[in-house]
Structure 1
Amino acid sequence: MNDKKIAFITSVNDEELYEESKFYVEHLITPEDIEVEFVKVKDFNSITSAYNEGIRRSDAKYKVFMHQDVFIVNKNFIQDILHIFNLNKNIGMIGMVGCKTIPTNGVWWEASDCFGKVADSHIGSMEIINFNEVKDIYEEAAAIDGLIMITQYDIPWREDIFQGWHFYDVSHSIEFKRKGYKVVVPKQQSIWCIHDCGRIELDFSYEDSRKKLLDEYAEEINPLKVT
């Protein structure tokens, strides 16, 4: 594992969008001793299988799993995430927004204790989503959103369970916790990322994945119902 390399791993089906996302990364401030690698994964039918392919392709210790419609606007992004990882070797993954307690329905953003911030266009227009403020350098989370997930350890994505594009992020957050690692959201003076996803229409696969999440992680999400 190369601890002087950071890989930006993206599942791509829109080349123009990906090139714009890549442009933002190329203009980040990069420490002199750090190598930046781009891993573009195409022709995969699930984000979990695409991300596992990304892990196989890169020996970078630090991996940024990001959607092709995410634009990193914090020029110091690389230094900031490396600083957080270096503060505590038990921090396994970083995200921009998340929750401290996963609701019993598995939908992280419906929690009462969400925190972090991001610019997002899921309602059809761009807006700044401000959850509760992170008061310290970072806040520990039970789950983070999948728009961007930054790791310093390789843990397999559960493609055996999630074959689509939903709830893989909550799953991966719990997988890191199962391995004893912390998942955190950093303090952001201003937003670090823009997520230009556009209005999202949910199909039957969303509910199917939600049920799989609740089945696999019942003990973590709703321990009172586990006998």
Structure 2
Amino acid sequence: MDDKKIAFIIVVNNELAFEECKFYISNLIVPNGFNVEVIPMRNANGIAFAYNQCMESSTAKYKVYLHQDVYIRNMNFINDLLNIFNLDKDIGLIGMCGAKTLPASGVWWESSITVGRVYESHTGHLSLLEFNKINSNYEEIEAVDGLLIATQYDLKWRYDIFKGWHFYDLSQCLEFINKGYKVVVPRQETPWCVHDCGLVNTSNGFDFYRDLFLKTYKS
């Protein structure tokens, strides 16, 4: 495993969005001695399967799984990410926003305690989505949104269960927690990312995979 390499892993079905995503990555400040690779996965049938294939193909210790329509605005993103990981070797996974505790519904944004911030456009208009403020370097939580997930350890994505486009992210968070790792959201003075997702589509299996998620992790 190469601890001086960071891989950006992206499932691609929109080349224009991917090119913009890649443009922002190319403008990030790269720490001395580090290498950056961008790994696109096209024609994927499901995100967890694609992520797992890309994970296994890369020797990078640090991996950032992000949507093709996520644009990293924080030019010091890599250094900031490494600083969080270096604070505690038990931190396994970092996201940009999420839930302190998952609600019974399994839908993270319905939690009574949410943290993080991001510019996003799920209403059709790009605006700041801001949750509870984080006062320390990071907040330990149970689940993050899959718009961007960074890891310093490799755990298999549960593509055996989550074969579509939903709940792969929450599943991966709980897989890390069940292995004794911490899932965190960092303090962001200004949002590190833009997620230009547009109106969210929940008609492609959201409820099916929500039920499957609840049954799989009912404890």
Q: Normalising to structure 2: TM-score of the pair?
A: 0.99
Per the TM alignment, residue 200 of structure 1 is displaced from its structure 2 partner at its CA by: 1.3
Give the distance between the partners of 2:139 and 2:31, measured in 1 at CA.
Answer: 25
Match of 2:160 in 1: 160
Q: How does 1:173-188 map to 2 (within 5 A)?
A: 173-188=173-188
Match of 1:147 in 2: 147
Residue identity in the other structure for 2:143: A
Q: 201-210 vs 98-107, which deviates more?
A: 201-210
Contact residue 11 and residue 68 of structure 1 kept, 8 A: yes
* Secondary structure of 1:161's aligned partner: coil
- Please, which runs of 5 or more residues in structure 1 have no aligned partner? 220-227
Give the distance between the partners of 1:47 and 1:157, measured in 2 at CA.
Answer: 9
Q: Render the CA deviation track for 1:101-143: whole Å, top value 9, x for unaligned.
A: 1000100001010001000101111110110001100000100
- % identical equivalent positions: 52
Match of 2:214 in 1: 214
Residue identity in the other structure for 1:120: E
Match of 2:16 in 1: 16
* Secondary structure of 1:6's aligned partner: strand
Per the TM alignment, residue 57 of structure 1 is displaced from its structure 2 partner at its CA by: 1.4
Give the distance between the partners of 1:194 and 1:33, measured in 2 at CA.
Answer: 28
Per the TM alignment, residue 204 of structure 1 is displaced from its structure 2 partner at its CA by: 5.2
* Secondary structure of 2:170's aligned partner: helix
The answer on 1:54 being equivalent to 2:58 is no
Give the distance between the partners of 2:7 and 2:23, measured in 1 at CA.
Answer: 15
Give the distance between the partners of 2:12 and 2:57, measured in 1 at CA.
Answer: 15
Q: How does 1:114-153 map to 2 (within 5 A)?
A: 114-153=114-153
RMSD after superposition = 0.7
Give the distance between the partners of 1:168 and 1:177, measured in 2 at CA.
Answer: 14
* Secondary structure of 1:85's aligned partner: helix
Residue identity in the other structure for 1:45: N
Per the TM alignment, residue 81 of structure 1 is displaced from its structure 2 partner at its CA by: 0.4
Relative distance call for 1:204 and 1:10 in structure 2 (3 A) is: closer
Q: How many residues align?
A: 219
Give the distance between the partners of 1:206 and 1:144, measured in 2 at CA.
Answer: 16
Give the distance between the partners of 1:66 and 1:137, measured in 2 at CA.
Answer: 22
The answer on 1:81 being equivalent to 2:81 is yes
Match of 1:224 in 2: none
* Secondary structure of 1:51's aligned partner: helix
- Please, which runs of 5 or more residues in structure 2 have no aligned partner? none
Match of 1:222 in 2: none
Relative distance call for 1:199 and 1:84 in structure 2 (3 A) is: same
The runs of 4+ residues in structure 1 deviating greater than 6 Å are none
